[in-house]
Structure 1
Amino acid sequence: MKQIIGFLFFFVSIILSAQNLTLSDKELKQKLDSIKTEGNLLYSYENASWHAGDLVGSNKRLAENTGSYITYQKNDTIKTSFLNKAGNMIIAELSFKNNQTKPVKENFKERGLNETESILKNIRSAIIPQLSDPKYSVTVPQGYSLNMIIIPFNENYKVYLIPGTVQSGIIPFGNDYLFVSDKKGNIISHKKFHSRLIPTSTALENGGTVTMSTHSHLVTNPFISATDICTFKLYAPLTTLEEFSVLSTALGSYIKYNYKKDNIEVVKNP
């Protein structure tokens, strides 16, 4: 991942009283770098899923026989594999590198699932029924979907849910979740990054365009989130926006991200 190009030092130390946590400038930078790295990883998964889905969807034979899909990383490659409707065979595998929109390799030969694909398929199957538990407050507003990204995490797995939409001129911030599960898909912990969906319009009613997007984070979510970065990187290229900011009520400042520079800044004003 690229290193942060610019960083505006705000305080010698920042006190997050709500969390009883004190961060130095160095610690804050490390935290934001970590979030950015995670956001870019989420984006690489979703970028592959998006473009692989478009390619498979344009193939009538594959589209008619495709069930779910699995996206995972192998070395420097992100792979998206499509299962048949029965869910017991892989009927298409597309490989991507460096967030390219075109796969570096395509394989449409039917085969069985490898070990990684089997684990991810089983986790996905186990997680989905658990999401209906009211304690997780998972919702899917009309006109939106929730996309699942499963990433290995130590001996467990991170399971992200991020919103998607086919509506033009909308960046679907918010309504994003993180679950940690064991290898069998049993949920160990969970977090909701935003209290609701924040559909951000990129066009004005008078025909003008939006030049800056900003939304607020509560004290309990003091930083820009990896899901914020992933969502923006997916939808911003479809708009004229290059950056967005988050108002952190805990920090008393704005955290701004520019997707073209892959850069995070902490500033007093957006």
Structure 2
Amino acid sequence: MKPISIFLILMWSISIFSQENKISDNEFQLKLDSIKSEGNLLYSLENASWNASDIIRENKMLRNEVGQYLTYKSNDTVKTVFLNKKADKVMVEYLFLNNSKKAIKHRLKERDLNSLELDLKNNREKLISQLSDPKYEVGVPEGFSLNLITIPSGNKFRTYIITGANDSGVIPFGNDYLFVTDKIGNILESKKFHSRLIPQYTSTAQGEMSMSTHSHLKTNSFISATDICTFKLYAPFTKLEKFFVYSPAYSTYFEYDGKKDTLKKVKSPF
């Protein structure tokens, strides 16, 4: 009976996996639209963090006075605030509109943190204190860094961790994570999108690359929002306008076109 039982379990598992991968074209596109929307949100937040940090670095008076920063949506703008060293006051804030590099408004007057900023700060500090647990497999490859992007979601928070490149000429795909936490930062769910860092070097001895492709595991069937965010952050420094992700689970490629902001499945990148 044991060999038969194992065979039945195997066939049941294959059947379930096949059913999960049967999805209509409409459902497929809805899923891709949702991923693209999340990727664009991540980009708008991280882009504001980048630009605000650049402004701070150029300000000799402020750059040695500020500590951590927080970035979040504020109506139709994205706001980045820098806290003092004690992290109990906001020292400076910048507002960005439509992913602009220049702030449309800034405020230098010190103030108390508002309720959302307090939640973001406390949530992030609590989350970071848990990331050293080996079960989450969070690592920092040599020569790279980690960036956290936190999004309020009802009574929970979604925090994405993406890898940042310190050198030019590379798009740091992979080594990215999602943590869903409660309001005070206790981890409720976690996901690792890629098994490792997949750095896409954009220059070779033959010249600059015109296309980027990487593959996902079957356990991560779709392109990820972090893929889109990372590409949008680094592609402007290269000649790349689109990239592709191969999905073994669906035997298809996903194509993201950064210039058109379109995401679709294609048979081949060629």
Question: One-letter code of the match for 1:263?
Answer: T
Paired residues of 2:32 and 2:264 also in contact (CA < 8 A): no
* Cα deviations by residue, 1:127-160 (Å, 9 ceiling, x for unpaired): 1010000000000011111100110123201011
Paired with 1:224 and 1:243, the residues of 2 have a C-alpha distance of: 13
Q: Output aligned runs, 1:155-166, within 5 Å.
A: 155-166=155-166
Matches within 5 A, 1:50-69: 50-69=50-69
Q: Distance in 1 between matches of 2:183 and 2:231?
A: 30
Q: In 2 relative to 1, CA 255–188 (structure 1 residues): closer, same or farther, beyond 3 Å? A: same
Residues of 1 paired with 2:23 and 2:61: CA distance?
A: 55
Matched, 1:224 2:206: no
Deviations 1:187-236 (A, max 9, x none): 00000000000110000124x01011000001110111000000000000
Q: Which runs of 4+ in 1 moved over 3 A?
A: none
Aligned to 1:140: 140
CA contact (8 A) 1:147 1:164 kept: yes
Instruction: Tell me if structure 2 keeps the 8 A contact 1:66–1:83.
Output: yes
Q: Which amino acid aligns with 1:261?
A: K
Query: Structure 2 vs 1, CA of residues 154 and 19 (structure 1 numbering), >3 Å: closer, same or farther?
Result: farther
- Counterparts of 2:204 and 2:155 in 1: how far apart (Å)? 47
Q: Which whole-Å CA distance do the structure 1 matches of 2:19 and 2:197 have between them?
A: 24
Work out the CA distance in 1 between the residues paired with 2:20 and 2:256: 26
Per-residue CA shift, 1:21-79, capped at 9, x if unaligned?
42100000000000000000000000100000000111011101111000011111100
Give the secondary-structure state (helix, strand or coil) at the position aligned to 1:63: coil
Q: Is the 8 A contact 2:150 2:159 kept in 1?
A: yes
> 1:19, CA displacement in angstroms?
7.3
Match of 1:67, as an amino acid? G
Instruction: Indicate the residue corresponding to 1:119 in structure 2.
Output: 119
Q: Does 1:101 align with 2:116?
A: no
Contact 1:16 1:251 in 2 (8 A): no
Contact 2:174 2:193 in 1 (8 A): yes
| TM-score, scaled to structure 2 | 0.92
CA contact (8 A) 2:29 2:264 kept: no
The normalised TM-score by structure 1 is 0.92
The DSSP-based 3-state class of the residue aligned with 2:236 is: helix
Residue of structure 2 equivalent to 1:234: 233
User: Unaligned stretches of 5+ in structure 2?
Assistant: 1-14
Gaps of 5+ in 1: 1-14
- Structure showing greater radius of gyration is 2
SS in 2 for 1:49: helix
Q: Over the residues paired in the alignment, what is the CA RMSD in angstroms?
A: 1.3
Query: Cα offset for 1:18?
Result: 6.1
Query: Larger RCO: Structure 1 or Structure 2 (Cα < 8 Å, ≥ 6 residues apart)?
Result: 1
Whole-Å separation in 2 of the counterparts to 1:106 and 1:153 = 26
**3-state SS in 2 of match to 1:220:** coil
Whole-Å separation in 1 of the counterparts to 2:200 and 2:171:
5
- Name 1:26's counterpart in structure 2: 26
Q: What's the counterpart of residue 82 of structure 2?
A: 82
Q: Secondary structure at the match of 1:61?
A: coil
The answer for the alignment partner of 1:5 in structure 2 is none
- Paired residue secondary structure (2:23): strand
Q: Give the structure 1 partner of residue 249 of structure 2.
A: 250
Q: 1:16 deviation in Å? A: 8.6
Alpha-carbon distance in 1 for matches of 2:161, 2:179: 8
Mapped contact 1:174–1:228 kept (Cα < 8 A): yes
- Inter-partner Cα distance in structure 2 for 1:133 and 1:264: 35
**Residue aligning to 2:6:** none
Task: Give the number of aligned pairs.
Answer: 255
- TM-fit CA distance, 1:17: 2.7
Q: Distance in 2 between matches of 1:251 and 1:212?
A: 21
Cα gap change, 1:168 to 1:129, in 2 (>3 Å)? same
SS in 2 for 1:232: helix
